[in-house]
A and B are shown apart, each in its own frame.
Chain A
């Protein structure tokens, strides 16, 4: 019935030179535990796949075809048919130096968000193991509150914290000797404004990382850490050679998820800039949105969106391998 039963005969003879792989297709599948007709699982999957095909499959195909067409206002209202223009949209996008500036900005922004989120998240997860119970409770309350807060609310609150005239952040900074930040506009320059948005993203993303890593840390065997310590490893050594390798699958999962989420940041920038991000604030998401809905060039917007998806594919490849491994061990 179980995989162990079916695969056991192949494993038993250890001394013998490996025999030529006898009927391999059947025994090698580790997932073959509960046998069943193929019809049942597909019937269970059918509604889900059908809905996904309609709500996701179709728009994705449309996204791809759109990016090879000319599609603006007149095509939207049906005055003109959408004509294929080959790679014109891509040529236009890729030949635009602004696009490349946006790509670089998006990558730097996302990388900063991911690195800060992971490092701070790991530090807090480790800290939680060392503090007293009541401090742990306090931190958990703060984390859950910031995690559960709707992004749009968090963005609104940060806008208020960093308000140039009445923001508490400027007021607090100005209390430091020799600092006068009253009236300082954080959004006057792209880098400073994006730094505030990075802070907002990291603040919202850290709780998930902390709680997931904390769950992972409880699974690190205490005996292993003890043994390493007895062998003379310091705190860093134990972390580096015992804790980190055990947490690696979780870290890979969290990092890839963060990359995907942080590459897709939209409302934070959009709302912070009152719906009209300046050139210095454009990320791939807002840039694609701008091209489509502000300039009304849906085709170019689609081309940019498609390029964003392709950029993410590299990351998805890594993540997918990890998740498949998880799917395998069930």
Chain B
């Protein structure tokens, strides 16, 4: 019976063409950290959380970190056992089957694509803010131009090879986190100088803490992005799970530091502050921190642009190899070993939306917040599905133990609750309309596939299967025995 076990081995991996097994662990980690963009989150997210959580803001972040770690543990269940380029989409397919995997893929695709748009918008917005502080005010058309230039640059670097882009992401992200640590260090070290409260904010309440988890989770989205580099990581089964869990922990720590600094700085009146860190810096007597802050946030968004493009095109690549998006997107460049067709499709789309919104005169901060809301919705759905898939996957391969069941049992209700809160909180704005349109598009796409490609749809979930050359048998690698 066992003799047939090697019969199913392919001669080459179904994800051949990518630069296999070439990324160092720190480069894999940088991919996740950058997609989560902690520097941008540190400056903006605590004030949003504080509008509902008030003085309990820090506790909302503690809870969000726990949720992110639980989701990270579910993802690690897969990434310790398989290396994929399709991120959570390919993982969900192995636990929940094609329908749920398709939903996860569509949600994740929307999450990455819209996060790319948001990162481009954010980079343009804070570059503009940086220039304004230096006395160089620019019209909106400049914002749109910045988006296009940055997108072209990101596309070029991502095309140029996964190692090149990973190293640049690492360098840029290191700068932005260092800048943030300097800023918050200065603010924490100085004497508290509370500025005048902008608005009354709620005090400590359990409901407030719970409601704050949703915006706090916004600081984490993208922390799973290292999963998309599974094929290209040198030791994927070790470095990818570490990168995902490490990012959840790192972003959690940085967010807690940021939230604590700001809550203490405003003496409880943080909620609704439009630019909390700038206000704090001014009250502190160090206005130069504001310039540094804009720089830090802008660099964080630049790193996020690159890292998100990396992840987005690998999801598209995997879907093309699964034959559920046009096949050419699964092609790879002969020299750079990156999915060049997917890059050529994804980057212009990612740039067009924020550029058009800027040109239409929509305020930058509105663009950024709206895009981040849509992206968050995509991620929440994908996280929920992968958390559900983990114990089912373990059961299917006969390796289920109690711990993963407990993690899923804790994470899934919280995530489902957060999704519910999200839907309620978004009602009345433009976000539900966009989300509705995306859901309809995904359903239509699914219906088309069900009719025209049922076989391909049933078999989705391509990953880096071991090939004959990876297996050692008595007569050398298995390929030679045949």
To the question of whether A and B form a pair in one complex, the answer is: no
A residues in contact (CB < 8 Å) with B? none
